[in-house]
């Protein structure tokens, strides 16, 4: 059974701007260190990706997998799940929750639940999850703030 982990970060941009970066899957290899390639496999009628193939290489872990995405109407929540098991993962579920703050910033809460296909001691898995989430949020913050607030 997979455990869920959650972390938050404040980004100096509107929720709309953060959502635009999160939903621009084609550009992920430009700003996320582990993502080597992305491919939108299917789209909804509104043009948002419904399934995206990721090829990642994080040194100790390389994998290719497809995630299915769902979006809140106002893009305040973007969630995903693993379509089929991959070489490294039995399951993956995650979400970004975007909340606008009075000062024009956005609090992004990232929740991730991954069940690996390979065994890993609990304390090492938790440390790896924390590192992955921390890195993902910091890279998202850097990308959004570098491209300018909307």
Domain containing 38 equals 5-148
Q: Is the pLDDT of residue 133 over 80?
A: no
3-class DSSP assignment, residue 17: helix
Note whether 12 and 140 are within 8 A (CB): no
Q: Look at residues 103, 98, 104, 101 and name the one whose alpha carbon lies nearest to residue 140.
A: 98
Note whether 105 and 3 are within 8 A (CB): no
**Cα gap 54→39, rounded to integer Å:** 7
Please state, rounded to an integer, the average pLDDT across all residues of the chain.
89
Q: What band does 135 get if pLDDT is binned at 50, 70 and 90?
A: confident
Q: How many CA atoms lie within 13 A of 136 on its CB side?
A: 20
Query: Is pTM beyond 0.85 here?
Result: yes
Q: What is the pLDDT of residues 81-128, one digit of tens each?
A: 999 999 988 999 999 999 999 999 999 999 999 887 766 555 555 666
Residue whose structure tokens are 């948002």:
48
**Cα gap 149→25, rounded to integer Å:** 19
CATH number at 45 reads 3.30.530.20
Mean predicted confidence (pLDDT) in 136-142:
93
Specify the number of domains making up the chain: 1
Q: What is the DSSP letter of 81?
A: E
Note whether 125 and 116 are within 8 A (CB): yes
Q: What is the pLDDT of residues 11-26, one digit of tens each?
A: 999 999 999 999 999 9
């Amino acid at each position: 059974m997979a455990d869920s982990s959650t972390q938050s970060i404040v980004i100096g941009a509107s929720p709309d701007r953060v959502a635009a970066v999160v939903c621009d899957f084609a550009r992920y290899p430009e700003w996320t260190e582990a993502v080597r390639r992305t491919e939108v496999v299917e789209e909804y009628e509104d043009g948002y990706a419904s399934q995206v193939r990721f090829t990642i290489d994080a040194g100790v872990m390389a994998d290719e997998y497809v995630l299915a995405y769902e979006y809140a109407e106002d893009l305040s929540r973007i969630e995903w799940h693993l379509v089929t098991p991959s070489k490294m993962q039995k399951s993956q579920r995650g979400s970004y929750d975007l909340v606008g703050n009075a000062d024009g910033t956005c609090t992004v809460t990232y929740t991730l639940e991954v069940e690996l296909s390979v065994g890993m001691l609990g304390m090492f898995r938790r440390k790896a999850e924390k590192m992955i989430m921390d890195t993902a949020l910091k890279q998202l913050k850097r990308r959004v703030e570098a491209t300018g607030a909307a």
